[in-house]
A = this chain, B = another copy of it.
Amino acid sequence: MATIHHPDIRTIPLSAVLAALSDPTRLEIVRSLAKKACTCGSLDIEASKSALSHHVKVLRQAGVIHQKAEGTSRVTTLRREELDARFPGLLDSVLRAKGPI
């Protein structure tokens, strides 16, 4: 597989991160990743595999997640420390939010 591109977090606009997080499916993915790293397939999300692939790509391009090829899978993790440095408090507030998603 070609190398997976991860944008420099400093170049990412705030609006892009907010847009990436503003989709309920992607919020689910992020909240799941906050608990533990996952491969796409092991995510318990209701979506076709191409839709899931799309959402994961949006999150990656927004600098929210990191992926590493591992065999035929991709191990996906939150770019938590980097995000916290770039947008202090943002991810925490999203992960801790109560009520309707």
Stretch at the interface among A20-28, A43-51, A70-78: A20-28
**Additional A-B contact list (9), CB under 8 Å, known A18-B22, A89-B92:** A14-B99, A15-B27, A18-B19, A19-B19, A22-B22, A87-B93, A89-B96, A90-B97, A93-B93
Contact B15–A18 (Cβ < 8 Å): no
Interface size class of A (residues with CB under 8 A): 20 to 34
In the assembled complex, the CB of A40 is this many whole angstroms from the nearest CB of chain B, namely 21
Does A41 interact with chain B (Cβ within 8 Å)? Answer: no
Per assembly, the copies of the chain total: 2
Does A42 interact with chain B (Cβ within 8 Å)? Answer: no
Chain A: interface secondary structure? Answer: helix
Contact A97–B14 (Cβ < 8 Å): yes
Does A12 interact with chain B (Cβ within 8 Å)? Answer: yes
Does A11 interact with chain B (Cβ within 8 Å)? Answer: yes
> With A90-B93, A92-B89 in contact, do A22 and B15 touch (Cβ < 8 Å)?
yes
